[in-house]
Amino acid sequence: MNALIYSNEYPPHNYGGAGVHVEYLTRELAKLPDVDVDVRAFGDQAMADYPLKVKGYPVNTAAFKAPEHLHSIFGSSQRAISFNADGNEADIVHCHTWYTHLAGILTKLNYGIPLVITGHSLEPLRPWKREQLAGGYDFSRWVEKTALEMADAVIAVSEGTKTDILKHFNVAPEKVHVIYNGIDTEEYQAVDPNPALAKFKVPTDQPYVLFVGRITRQKGIVHLVEAIQHMQTNYNVVLCAGAPDTPEIAAEMKAAVAQAGKTRGGIYWIDEMVGKTDIIQLYSGADVFCCPSIYEPFGIINLEAMACETPVVGAMVGGIPEVIVHDETGYLVPLAQEKESPFTPLNPAAYAEDLAHQINRLMGDPERRRSFAKAGRARALNQFSWTRIAQQTRDLYQALIR
C-alpha cells in the first residue's frame, strides 16, 4: 500500500513531540515489506529514497500582508493546496497536528481515500493559543473539529487522549484507536554527558535536575521556575528551554528566572532549541528529569529521559501517568486545575511547592534514583517499541482500505 503522510514537522525541522513521532513512525513503516511512504511536510526537505519519499513545501510568508500572528494559519492553508495539487497515488492519507488537517480534508474528498488523524494534542485543551493566534485560534479549532469528525479513524496517543477526543468531538468510539508514541532505545540510551555539559558550561561537580521543552503555557515551565525557590541548594537546575510562543511568555520566563536567581545559585538556562545529540547527553547526565506540563497528551520527553536511565518527576495529567509509573520509574505530582479555565492550576503556588518537594525527595535518595533509572530503561525497552507501533498503524491502514 502507499501511505501518504502529512506533517508540519519533519527532520531537520523538528521542534516538538509530533515531529519526533512522525520521524520514527515513517522510518519504521517504510521498513515493512508492504508499505511505501510518501511524506509531505512544511519545509524544504527533499528525499526520494524508495520506499520513503519526503518532500517539503516552502511558503514565502514575507509576501503575506496579513498580520504576522496569522501567517501560520494562511501558510498551512496554502500548503494544504500544494500538498493536494501535487497529486498522489495513495491508498490512505494520515495527518499529524491541526496544521495539516485542511490538507487531509481536501485529500479525502477529492481523491476519495480514507483519512486517518493522529491526535497529538487537541485545540480545545490549549486555550492559551489565543495569545498567539487571536482569531486564528477559532480557525484552528474549526478545522480540527471538522477533520476529526469526518475522519475514517482517529489515533489517540494515550488512553487519556482518547477520553478527551470522545468528550470534545462527535466521534464514534469505535473509530478511536489508542496507539502510543514510541522510543528508539538504541539511539536514546545513557552516554557520556561531558561534551554537552562542557558546551553549555554546566559544571560537573554538582548533580542537576533537568527540564527540556519549549517556552509555552502547555509545558508548565514557569511553574517549574517558580518551584526553584523551594528546591534544596545542593544541586543545580538546568533549563533547556527555547522557542517561546509569544513575546509575552518570553518576558515572563526571563523575569521568573531572574527572580529565582535571587534565591539560589546554580541555575543554568540554555535559551535555545538544542540538537538531539546534545539532548541525549543532557538527559544522561541529569540526576532527575522534570516534566511540569499542565497539558500533555503523551509526554514523549519523559520516555526519552527514562530510556537514558534518568528518573522522572512529572505532572499527573493527560498521558503522563501511562508513561511514568509512580514510585517505580519516578514520581507523579497531582495537579488540581480550575474548571472554568482548563489547564490553569487551581493553586499555582501549591503546585510549584509540590514539584519542588518531589524533586528534593528524589535528589536526596541516590539508591532510589538508581532503582528508578533501571526500571525506566526497562519500561522503555519493553512497552514502547517503534517497530510495534508501526505494525499497529499498518494494520489499521489495511483494515480501513479493506
pTM of the model: 0.81
Answer yes or no: do 372 and 393 share one domain: no
Residue 187 covered by a domain? no
Q: What is the C-alpha separation between 48 and 36, in angstroms, rounded?
A: 11
Task: Look at residue 372 and give its three-state secondary structure.
Answer: helix
Angle between helices 348-363 and 366-383 (to 10 degrees): 100
Answer yes or no: do 33 and 147 share one domain: yes
Q: What is the C-alpha separation between 78 and 103, in angstroms, rounded?
A: 9
Which value, to the nearest 10 degrees, does the dihedral of the CA atoms of residues 275, 276, 277, 278 take? 50
Answer yes or no: do 23 and 150 share one domain: yes
Residue 162 covered by a domain? yes
Residue 188 covered by a domain? no
Residue 6 covered by a domain? yes
Answer yes or no: do 69 and 211 share one domain: no
Answer yes or no: do 41 and 148 share one domain: yes
Residue 344 covered by a domain? yes
Q: Which neighbouring-strand residues pair with 239?
A: 211, 269
Q: What is the pLDDT of residue 339?
A: 61
Answer yes or no: do 166 and 214 share one domain: no
Residue 200 covered by a domain? yes
Answer yes or no: do 293 and 340 share one domain: yes
Q: What is the pLDDT of residue 4?
A: 98
Q: CB neighbours (10 Å) of residue 277?
A: 12
Answer yes or no: do 207 and 313 share one domain: yes
CATH number of the domain where residue 227 is located: 3.40.50.2000
Q: What is the C-alpha separation between 291 and 19, in angstroms, rounded?
A: 19
Residue 28 covered by a domain? yes
Answer yes or no: do 307 and 323 share one domain: yes
Q: What is the pLDDT of residue 95?
A: 98
Q: CB neighbours (10 Å) of residue 44?
A: 11
Answer yes or no: do 204 and 67 share one domain: no
**Residuewise pLDDT in 10s, the chain (402 residues):** 999 999 999 999 988 788 989 999 999 999 999 999 999 999 999 998 889 999 999 999 999 999 999 999 999 999 999 999 999 999 999 999 999 999 999 999 999 999 999 999 899 988 888 888 999 999 999 999 999 999 999 999 999 999 999 999 999 999 999 999 999 999 999 999 999 999 999 999 999 999 999 898 889 999 999 999 999 999 999 999 998 888 989 999 999 999 999 999 999 999 988 999 999 999 999 999 999 999 888 989 999 999 999 999 999 998 999 999 999 999 999 987 766 555 677 788 999 999 999 999 999 999 999 999 999 999 999 999 899 999 999 999 999 998
Answer yes or no: do 104 and 235 share one domain: no
> How many domains, the chain?
2
Answer yes or no: do 264 and 216 share one domain: yes
Q: Kindly write down the DSSP assignment for every residue of 261-328, as one continuous string.
A: TTT-S-EEEE-SPPPHHHHHHHHHH-SEEEE--S--SS-HHHHHHHHTT--EEEES-TTGGGTS-BTT
User: Radius of gyration (Cα) for the chain, nearest Å?
Assistant: 21
Residue 71 covered by a domain? yes
Residue 12's domain comprises 2-182+385-401
Q: What is the pLDDT of residue 243?
A: 86
